[in-house]
């Protein structure tokens, strides 16, 4: 592939011209809150590796990518140049990365070979999660303004024909620490856009997520972020247009800060689902969510827990009977626009029979939960209800507070379904009117 003037300058180490090819590390400005741990701030990398590409849109560029990563690991800057497209047709393990900048200015496109990816993508232990690649290591900066494209349409259609299709996550993270991912465009993920496991002190900033189906088969389970067995994760200053959770805190997510997001078309910012697997003890605690603009969604803020009996959301998603705890979770400063429930707590996830849910209450405890300063208008879906606070038993679910809830339904009501709740702690008009859960 012919080098541009910029790349030729890099090859010749031609001073200022070469440096102008590289993206500057993005400035990370947390607002309105600072993360618990300092944002990573490593020294500048000096060695530069330019990733080659066949450039034909057919030949797998994975060997070029791995070569550049190995060459520039431990102190280098890897460049995916602007106006270049890289086709990835091989599952790659990137968990060896250390002290490296990945500067993605071009486009990374994953192949549409669904048979290969189902057989070779990396499996996680949670639900049916697989991933095109595994990103891990220590002190990794990933940025550049470029695009990761999951080629999702073929997956949306394949899943519609077979719900047991294993759809890869666009960005699979396993064992990443002290790292920043910023200034990227993510498009057409087959399933979740991010799945983060076994990681700590990672910041996501200025991520642009979108990707809807162009056929009658909808793009399903396209969560923006799912955190799992991870701590001290910050997600902020991003725009998410998707069809499932904007952010979801899966089992053993702790010390998470989510702030300053625009979410459209989602299922809200969710704790869970939890308690899906018998014998597992799920923990989600010390979660702070602030300054969220939520539009055209099923939920604004949500906590979803399976009951203590087998239940099914769908053929490929069922569970119940697990234990654990949800503790010290705060949702504040939400703008609600055409959202079915501004707030939803349920310990009956997957179980629409409320009587049966209460007969088999969840052993997973929920406590010290705060919702404050919500404003806006819900959709017509559940009016006159604007929220649902449903505990399967008051003995395992309490200390829930909602203040300054200035949300109304389209007909002006301010009611919420309340089950096993202290109504005096909720700034809504509690009712036993039940209209279902998302």
| Residue 102 to residue 122: CA distance in whole angstroms | 21
Long-range contacts of 83-88 (CB under 8 A, 24+ apart): 83/4, 84/53, 84/55, 85/53, 85/55, 85/57, 85/109, 86/51, 86/53, 86/61, 87/53, 87/54, 87/57, 87/58, 87/59, 87/60, 87/61, 87/111, 88/60, 88/61, 88/62, 88/132, 88/133
Q: CB 365: neighbour CB atoms within 10 A?
A: 19
Sequence-ordered alpha helix ranges (H) in 274-333: none
267 classed as catalytic:
yes
Residue with tokens 């626009």: 337
SS3 (DSSP) at 15 = helix
> CA end-to-end span of the chain, whole Å?
51
Would you list the DSSP string of 26-85?
PP----S---SSPPP-PPPP-EEEEPP---SSSS--HHHHHHHHHHHTTTEEEEE-TT-E
| Residue 339 to residue 295: CA distance in whole angstroms | 6
Per DSSP, 397 falls in state B
Closest CA to 205 of 22, 28, 23: 28
Asked if 97 and 69 touch (Cβ cutoff 8 Å), the reply is yes
CA distances from 346 to 14, 103, 150, 315, 367 (A): 61, 42, 33, 21, 13
Residue with tokens 């070569």: 67
In the set 46, 267, 295, 414, the catalytic residue is: 267
Q: Take residue 390 and report the two structure tokens written for it.
A: 């449903």
Residue 202: HSE in the Cβ half-sphere, 13 Å Cα cutoff? 30
Which residues form the catalytic set? 267
């Amino acid at each position: 592939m012919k080098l541009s003037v910029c790349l030729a300058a890099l090859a010749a180490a031609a001073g200022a011209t070469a440096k102008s090819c590289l993206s500057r590390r993005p400035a990370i400005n947390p607002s309105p809150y600072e993360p618990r741990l300092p944002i990573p701030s490593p020294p500048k990398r000096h060695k530069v590796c330019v990733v080659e590409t066949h450039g034909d849109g057919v030949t797998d560029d994975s060997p070029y990518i791995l070569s550049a990563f190995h060459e520039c690991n431990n102190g280098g800057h890897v460049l995916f140049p602007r106006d270049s497209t890289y086709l990835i047709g091989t599952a790659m393990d990137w968990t060896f990365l250390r002290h490296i900048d990945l500067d993605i200015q071009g486009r990374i496109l994953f192949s549409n070979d669904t048979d290969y990816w189902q057989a070779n993508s990396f499996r996680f232990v949670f639900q049916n999660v697989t991933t095109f690649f595994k990103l891990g290591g220590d002190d990794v900066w990933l940025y550049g303004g470029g695009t990761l494209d999951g080629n999702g349409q073929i997956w949306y259609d394949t899943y519609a024909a077979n719900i047991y299709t294993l759809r890869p996550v666009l960005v699979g993270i396993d064992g990443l620490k002290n790292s920043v991912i910023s200034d990227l465009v993510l498009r057409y993920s087959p399933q979740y856009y991010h799945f983060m496991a076994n990681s700590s002190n990672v910041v996501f900033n200025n991520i642009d997520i979108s990707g809807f189906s162009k056929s009658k088969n909808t793009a399903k389970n396209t969560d923006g972020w799912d955190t799992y067995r991870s701590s001290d994760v910050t997600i902020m200053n991003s725009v998410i247009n998707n069809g499932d959770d904007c952010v979801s805190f899966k089992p053993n997510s702790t010390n998470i800060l989510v702030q300053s997001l625009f979410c459209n078309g989602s299922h809200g910012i969710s704790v869970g689902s939890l308690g899906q697997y018998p014998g597992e003890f799920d923990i989600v605690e010390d979660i702070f969510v602030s300054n969220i603009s939520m539009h055209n969604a099923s939920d604004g803020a949500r906590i979803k827990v399976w009951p203590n009996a087998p239940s099914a959301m769908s053929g490929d998603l069922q569970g119940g009977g697990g234990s654990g705890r949800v503790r010290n979770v705060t949702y504040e400063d939400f703008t609600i626009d055409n959202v079915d429930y501004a707030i939803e707590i349920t310990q009956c996830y997957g179980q629409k029979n409320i009587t049966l849910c209460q007969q088999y209450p969840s052993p997973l405890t929920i406590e010290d939960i705060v919702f404050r300063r919500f404003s806006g208008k819900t959709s017509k879906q559940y009016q006159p209800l604007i929220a649902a606070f449903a505990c399967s038993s008051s003995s395992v679910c309490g200390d829930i507070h909602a203040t300054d809830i200035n949300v109304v339904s389209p007909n002006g009501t301010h009611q919420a379904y309340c089950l096993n709740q202290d109504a005096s702690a909720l700034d809504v008009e509690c009712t036993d009117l039940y209209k279902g859960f998302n």
